[in-house]
């Protein structure tokens, strides 16, 4: 019986850790979509100082890092602290068809929007079909 209760306790701890890490990463949820010849990624980063946002691309791996800090104020005594603080990281594997040299980033109302044009060579093109030649 002792072994069983220790196992249940361990499972409870593991479950709490999983849910805790899911809560911490919830500030980095994203949407990815394409409009015409541009690919977009919107990443939720509420409460983040724009100066702390770091966007890098290395071998088609896009990495976004940002830090959310709790304001420091003299005399501040937290009563409830549910909002996750610290560094948020999100990685996205990009297609070879995207022009990462022209990637643009904009941060507005707690959302980081990345726009990446599709490479000219990857855009669909129309092929002209010629008729048979008369003999």
pLDDT given at position 45: 93
Could you tell me the mean pLDDT of each successive run of 10 residues in the chain, 135 residues long? 51 57 60 93 93 93 92 84 87 90 94 92 73 69
3-class DSSP assignment, residue 121: helix
Give the per-residue pLDDT at 43: 95
Domain that holds residue 72: 26-122
Instruction: Please check whether residue 13 lies inside any domain of the structure.
Output: no
- Is 11 inside a domain boundary? no
CATH number at residue 117: 2.60.40.790
Residue 7 lies in a domain: no
6 domain residue, yes or no:
no
94 domain-assigned: yes
Instruction: Identify whether 118 is part of a domain.
Output: yes
Q: Evaluate if pTM is beyond 0.75.
A: no
What pLDDT shows up at residue 3?
Answer: 46
Residue 5: inside a domain? no
How many structural domains are present in the chain? 1
């Amino acid at each position: 019986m002792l072994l069983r209760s220790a196992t249940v306790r361990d499972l409870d701890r593991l479950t709490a850790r999983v849910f805790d890490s899911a809560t911490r990463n919830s500030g980095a949820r994203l949407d990815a979509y394409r409009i015409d010849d541009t690919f977009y990624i919107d990443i939720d980063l509420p409460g983040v100082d724009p100066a702390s946002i770091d966007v890098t691309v290395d071998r088609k791996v896009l990495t976004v890092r940002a830090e959310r800090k709790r304001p420091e104020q003299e005399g501040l005594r937290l009563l409830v602290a549910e909002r996750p603080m610290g560094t948020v990281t999100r990685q996205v594997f990009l297609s070879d068809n995207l022009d990462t040299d022209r990637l643009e980033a904009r941060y507005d109302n707690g959302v980081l929007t990345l726009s990446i044009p599709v490479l000219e060579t990857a855009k669909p093109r129309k092929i002209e079909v010629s008729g048979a030649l008369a003999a």
